[in-house]
Structure 1
C-alpha cells in the first residue's frame, strides 16, 4: 500500500515522533481523508510499517535459514544476511535503525526469536554468555552499530564476516565448522 511505503520512507529519514499525517499524506500523494480511511492514527500506521518490516526480515531468511540444524549456524546466517541486506539497501537499513529505538511488535518478535536461538545454543554448550537476554543485547547492539557505521561510510567487502566473528566472540562462541556461511 502506498501509504505504508511512504511512511516507511519517512520513518527511515526521521524520528517516528516527527512523523505526521500531513507528511505521510503528502509523501504518498493522497488526501488526508484517504489516510484516515485506512488508518485511525499515526500509531496504527507505524504498527503497519512494523509488520511490513518484520516480513522483510523473514523474507531475507527463508527458506535457507530453516534448513540449518545448529542454532549458532542459524544465528550466524541471520546476522550476516541482515547485515548484507542493510549494506545493499540503505533505506531498509535506516528504517531498521530508526525503528529499533521504539518498542514495537516487530522488535519484540525478532528479539523473542533471537533469544530462543540463543537459549538453544546455551543449552547445547555453544555460548559462554549464560543469559539469553544479555547475549541478545550484545548481538543486536553489535549489529545495529555496524549497520549505523555502514550508513556513514563505504563498507569493506568482508564487513559481514568480520562483524559476525566479533559478535560471536562477544557471546563466547565461534562459527560452526560444519557449514560455511
Structure 2
C-alpha cells in the first residue's frame, strides 16, 4: 500500500504593489525680467502710436509724442524701432495683416464667394465696434498703399476676383467695385463709431434724421452684395446667415 504524504503549499506573502512614480512637476520657465520689461515697453509704444496715428496720421505724430504717451524715455524708442516709419509699418501689419489672416481662417470653410465677402464685412465692422481706436486707424489708412499691397485690401481684391470668376458677382469694373465695397465698409465703421456705439459723440443724430442704426454690419453686407449683382432677397439672406468665428492658431514653440 502506497502512503501518500500531504504536502502543504506554503502561503505566499502578497507583494506590496510598487508605487507609481509621480510625474516630475512641471516647472514653468519664468520670463527673464529684462525680456519682460522689453516686451512690455514695446507694447506700450505700439499702443501709444496706434492711438496717436489713428487720430492724426503718421505724418502728424512725432516720436517724442509717442514716447511721452507711452511713458517711455525718448532714447528707449530706438531699442525697439529704427524710425517712426518702422513703428507705423508694424502697426499696419497688426491692424491689416493679422486681422486679414483671421478673416481667412474664419472663411476657410465657406464655398460661396458672396458669403465670404459678407462675413468679412460683418467681422470688420464688429471688430471696429469692439475696438474704436483700431477702427479709426483703419478709416484713416484704409486706402493707403499698404492696404492695396497687403492685408485687408489685398484680400478684398482677391475675394472680389473670385466672385467675378465664379460669375457670382456682376461687376463690370473691378477697381470701382473694390472702391465701392471698401469705401462703404469704412463709411459704415465711421457711422458706427460716431453715431451708434454707446458714448458716441452724436448718438441721437441718426434718430433725428429718421434713420435706424441697428444691425449695421448685416445691412452693410446686404447692400454691398446687391451692389455686386445679387438680388435683394438673396443678398439679405446671405448677409444674415450665422456668423462663423475663427479657431485661433496653435501657439508656436
TM-score by length of 1: 0.88
Q: CA deviation at 1:19?
A: 0.9
Structure with greater helix percent: 1
Q: CA deviation at 1:92?
A: 1.3
Q: CA deviation at 1:127?
A: 1.0
Q: Deviations over 1:119-166 (max 9, x none)?
A: 111111111113332211110010011111112111523111111111
Larger Rg, first or second structure (1 or 2): 2
Counterpart among 212, 222, 243 of residue 165 in structure 1 = 222
User: Does the Cα contact within 8 Å between 2:53 and 2:61 map onto a contact in 1?
Assistant: yes
Please tell me the root mean square deviation across aligned C-alpha atoms, in Å.
Answer: 2.2
Partner Cα distance (1:136, 1:102) in 2: 14
4+ runs deviating over 3 angstroms = 174-179
Partner Cα distance (2:101, 2:165) in 1: 28
Q: Which runs of 5+ in 2 are unaligned?
A: 1-42, 198-212, 243-253
Partner Cα distance (1:99, 1:28) in 2: 22
Q: Which runs of 5+ in 1 are unaligned?
A: none
TM-score by length of 2: 0.65
- Local SS of the residue matching 2:120: helix
- Local SS of the residue matching 2:135: helix
What's the counterpart of residue 16 of structure 1? 58
Higher normalized contact order (CA 8 Å, seq sep 6+, divided by chain length):
1
What's the counterpart of residue 180 of structure 1? 241
Residues 30-179 of structure 1 aligned to structure 2 (within 5 Å): 30-58=72-100, 60-61=102-103, 63-100=105-142, 102-104=144-146, 106-109=147-150, 110-154=152-196, 156-173=213-230, 174-175=234-235
User: Does the Cα contact within 8 Å between 2:117 and 2:159 map onto a contact in 1?
Assistant: yes
Do the aligned partners of residues 27 and 101 (structure 1) sit closer, same or farther apart at CA in structure 2, a change above 3 Å counting?
farther
